[in-house]
Chains A and B, each alone.
Chain A
Amino acid sequence: NAGVTQTPKFRILKIGQSMTLQCTQDMNHNYMYWYRQDPGMGLKLIYYSVGAGITDKGEVPNGYNVSRSTTEDFPLRLELAAPSQTSVYFCASRLRGLAYEQYFGPGTRLTVT
């Protein structure tokens, strides 16, 4: 079991460029999440998905898009990157239901200059 995997680990983007952050889980989890963590802060939810074909906005969705075509994958798309999107991005997943803990990937460190 690899758990939650994310690629790339690091990326530098120029302002206005686009990219996709990849997230895959092999635990057959229904729920998947994308968070961002700015320096010295807690995690803020960008988007989440409760199953294939279903996505919903979190606290800070502006400037991002997601899709969920399979149970395993939940890519995060950044369009027209801005310096404010410089952050560490974490993907997470868990089983459906009230009593299950969430597991996190190792994160992607993104810098927009």
Chain B
Amino acid sequence: GIQVEQSPPDLILQEGANSTLRCNFSDSVNNLQWFHQNPWGQLINLFYIPSGTKQNGRLSATTVATERYSLLYISSSQTTDSGVYFCAVDTSGSRLTFGEGTQLTVNP
């Protein structure tokens, strides 16, 4: 099956810093999503982005499908950005495969 690798596994920032999270995948994908799991365990949809670039406030994402990677940018980080960021991909049109996530801690 498809392999999904996220880096870095852990990231600690001071409030106001910028960061880039990476997701590499081993096969062509129909779908790629980024999720934020907050400290209460809730999974929040950030982006649906099988290719191209999208922006939503301080967050943006870029997927280069031909090179099999996606990047999530967080600018001017806030303590509420803390949590785990997951990348998930779909090759079959029916099911997502998740990476192991990046644990982000933003300190005040």
Q: Is chain B found bound to chain A in the same assembly?
A: yes
Contact (Cβ within 8 A) B42 A106: yes
Q: Which residues does chain A contribute within 8 Å of B86, judged by CB atoms?
A: 42-43
A74 at the interface (CB under 8 A from B): no
Q: Which residues does chain B contribute within 8 Å of A101, judged by CB atoms?
A: 31, 33, 45, 48
- Tally of chain B residues near chain A (CB < 8 A): 21
| Chain B contacts with A in 78-108, Cβ cutoff 8 A | 86, 88, 93-101
Also in contact, A48 and B98, with CB within 8 A (given A99-B31, A101-B31): no
**Pair count A-B, CB < 8 A:** 50
Interface of A, secondary structure class, is strand
| Complex partner residue of B95 from A42, A58, A104, CB under 8 angstroms | A58
Chain A contact-residue range equals 20 to 34
A97 vs B48: C-alpha distance when bound (angstroms): 14
Q: Which residues does chain B contribute within 8 Å of A13, judged by CB atoms?
A: none
Contact (Cβ within 8 A) A42 B99: yes
Task: Please encode chain A, from 87 to 113, with 1 for each CB lying within 8 Å of some chain B CB and 0 for all others.
Answer: 010100000011111111011010000
A97 vs B97: C-alpha distance when bound (angstroms): 17
| Chain B contacts with A in 11-55, Cβ cutoff 8 A | 30-31, 33, 35, 41-43, 45, 48, 50
A109 vs B96: C-alpha distance when bound (angstroms): 21
| Complex partner residue of A88 from B31, B41, B97, CB under 8 angstroms | B41
Residue of A nearest to B47 (CB): A101
Residue of A nearest to B93 (CB): A98
| 13 A-B pairs whose Cβ atoms sit less than 8 Å apart in the complex | A33-B96, A41-B100, A42-B99, A43-B86, A43-B98, A45-B96, A50-B94, A58-B95, A98-B93, A99-B50, A101-B48, A102-B45, A109-B41
7 tightest A-B CB contacts, nearest first: A42-B98, A101-B48, A104-B43, A43-B98, A98-B30, A42-B100, A98-B93
Residue ranges of B at the interface with A (Cβ–Cβ < 8 Å):
30-31, 33, 35, 41-43, 45, 48, 50, 86, 88, 93-101
